[in-house]
Amino acid sequence: MIASARYLMATIGSLTQTHRPPVADPTAAIAGRGVQRWLYTLALLVFAMVVIGGATRLTGSGLSITEWQPIVGTLPPLSDAAWLDAFSKYQQIPQYQTINKGISLDAFKAIFWWEWGHRLLGRLIGVVFLLPFLGFLLRGSIDRPLAWRLSVLFALGGLQGALGWYMVKSGLSVRTDVSQYRLAAHLLAASALMAALLWTAIDIGSVERRRRIRLRTLAKGSTTVASVILALVFLQIGAGALVAGMKAGLAYNTWPLMDGHLVPAGLATMSPVWANAFENATTVQFDHRLTAYVLAALVIWQGVRVRRSADDERMTRSAAALVALVVMQFALGIWTLVSHVPLHLALAHQASAMLVLAAAVWHLHTLVRE
């Protein structure tokens, strides 16, 4: 009987040991936090890149450097002769001959520094991505699936640089500004890169939480709505790029009416009809406004549904943050419009759009992966 009791105790002990949760490796946890902080830093740098890119566009500086020299171009002109050479090349393009003819060398330097700073930050992002990535790989802090995902993101960053030069080229021969199509592609690629970096960083931070996952109540279709919201945010960012590229924000500077009408005349005057959405300033601004209304209504509706149904604090917090940022962005857009698009408000509006994107990514992640 004593032997039987000992056997029973041994069996219970073995079962307890078998079902005991694995002890977390503190070294792996520290490595995970390091990778996560690195990804958040990269996302912040991409955010800064978008804001500086907006300033470069709004100050008319994007065409001041007429060559793409990824290595040599890291250094600015370092002598009077080098400055005169760069200025001479700028004087050959239509923007100078049509808009800036006769500007001084000092005025040229002012726009040059914006574009040079924008390109330098792009190079810095590449270095901040590549060197830590290789270091984490060598230390084994990144597993193979994550390494492949990050390699794709690095390639997307390289594509972003190529898209930037492709955009600049559109304004060097015939046009006095860049193509709105290429501008939209450039901004959307940057937005996609920032969103992917944030998603990956949040993913790393939520590994431990997934082990403690519990049943949650949530209104039906909330995840689908969150996905639609994220898609609409990207659509609105692209529409904003078209507005900026065509200077359509200066066409109608009243709200809520456009030229005294909710639906202005001249929305479909171009042929083919689809071209109005990309090349008709009236239609481009109208679409940007309409998408803002739809997005704001959907975000507020989602916020109410999640607050009423979700029992997870992260879900309700992310929904509330998204509502707050969208309302702020909506008000900022109106303020920018009726103020005739001053530089500081236009930059704030663009920066706020990226914050809305970050909040939409966070909210969707809490519903899908948490």
How far apart CA 164 and CA 158 sit, in angstroms, is 10
How far apart CA 358 and CA 363 sit, in angstroms, is 9
How far apart CA 12 and CA 331 sit, in angstroms, is 64
DSSP annotation of 67 reads -
Which pTM value belongs to this model? 0.88
Q: Is the peptide bond before 94 cis (omega within 30 degrees of 0)?
A: no
The answer for 60, left when phi > 0, alpha when psi is -120 to 50, beta otherwise, is left
Domain boundaries, the chain: 29-205, 215-370
How far apart CA 144 and CA 147 sit, in angstroms, is 5
Coil, helix or strand at residue 215: coil
Residues 312 and 213: beta-carbon distance below 8 Å: no
The strand pairing partners of 258, in sequence order, are 261
Q: Which two tokens stand for residue 53?
A: 């890119």
Q: Along the 370 residues of the chain, how does pLDDT read in single tens digits? A: 444 444 433 433 443 343 333 434 444 455 588 999 999 999 999 999 999 999 999 999 999 999 988 887 899 999 999 999 999 999 999 999 999 999 999 999 999 999 999 999 999 999 999 999 999 999 988 999 999 999 999 999 999 989 999 999 999 989 999 999 999 999 999 999 999 999 999 998 765 455 444 445 677 788 999 999 999 999 999 999 999 999 999 989 999 999 899 999 889 899 999 999 999 999 999 999 999 999 999 999 999 999 988 777 889 999 999 999 999 999 999 999 999 999 999 999 999 999 999 999 999 999 986 5
Q: What are phi and psi of 179, to 5 degrees?
A: -65, 135
How far apart CA 239 and CA 219 sit, in angstroms, is 30
The strand pairing partners of 261, in sequence order, are 258
Give me the half-sphere count of Cα atoms (radius 13 Å) on the Cβ side of residue 70: 10
How far apart CA 53 and CA 167 sit, in angstroms, is 12
Residues 229 and 360: beta-carbon distance below 8 Å: yes
